[in-house]
Amino acid sequence: MPFDREGWPRIDRSFFDAGRLTAGGFSAKFYSRLGLDDGAPIPGEMRPSIAAGIQRATEDVVAALAGSGTNLCFAGGLGLNALLIASLERSANFERVFVQPAAGNAGTAIGAVLYAWHTALGNQERVLIPNMSLGPAFGAAEVKQVLENCKLSFRYLLTTGELIGNAVRLLGEGKIVAWMQDRMEFGPRALGNRSLLASPLDPYSAENLNAFIKHREAFRKFAASVPAEVAAEYFDVGPNARFLATAGRVRPGHGKTFGSAILGADTIRVHAVAREDNPLYWQLLHAAGAATGLPVLYNTSFNLFGDPLVCTPRDAVRSFYSSGIDAMFTGNFLLEK
Q: How far apart, in whole angstroms, are the C-alpha atoms of residue 191 and residue 281?
A: 9
In this prediction, residue 217 carries a pLDDT of 66
Residue 4, domain member (yes or no): no
In this prediction, residue 295 carries a pLDDT of 98
Residues 199 and 288 in one domain: yes
Tell me the pairing of strands 194-198 and 247-250. Answer: unpaired
Residues 277 and 154 in one domain: yes
Calculate mean pLDDT across residues 89-115. Answer: 92
Residues 85 and 200 in one domain: no
CA atoms within 13 A on the CB side of 42: 16
**Cα torsion 148, 157, 242, 73: sign:** positive
Confidence of residue 205 (pLDDT cuts 50, 70, 90): confident
Domain that holds residue 161: 140-336
Structural domains of the chain, count: 2
CATH number assigned to the domain comprising residue 299: 3.90.870.20
Q: How far apart, in whole angstroms, are the C-alpha atoms of residue 323 and residue 316?
A: 11
Residues 62 and 163 in one domain: no
Cβ 337 vs Cβ 180: under 8 Å: no
Calculate mean pLDDT across residues 194-199. Answer: 96
Mean pLDDT over all residues of the chain? 92
Cβ 227 vs Cβ 281: under 8 Å: no
Residues 200 and 293 in one domain: yes
| Cβ partners under 8 Å of residue 38, min gap 6 | 28, 31, 32
Residue 72, domain member (yes or no): yes
Q: How many percent of the chain have pLDDT more than 90?
A: 77
Cα diameter, the chain: 67
What is the per-residue pLDDT across 60-92, written as a single tens digit (0 to 9) for each? 999 999 999 999 999 999 999 999 999 999 999
Give the number of other CB atoms < 10 A from CB of residue 159: 9
- Is the pLDDT at 284 greater than 90? The verdict is yes
Residues 189 and 318 in one domain: yes
Q: Which amino acid makes up residue 86?
A: A
Residue 228, domain member (yes or no): yes
pTM value is: 0.90
Residue 217, domain member (yes or no): yes
- Is the pLDDT at 16 greater than 80? The verdict is yes
Residues 313 and 240 in one domain: yes
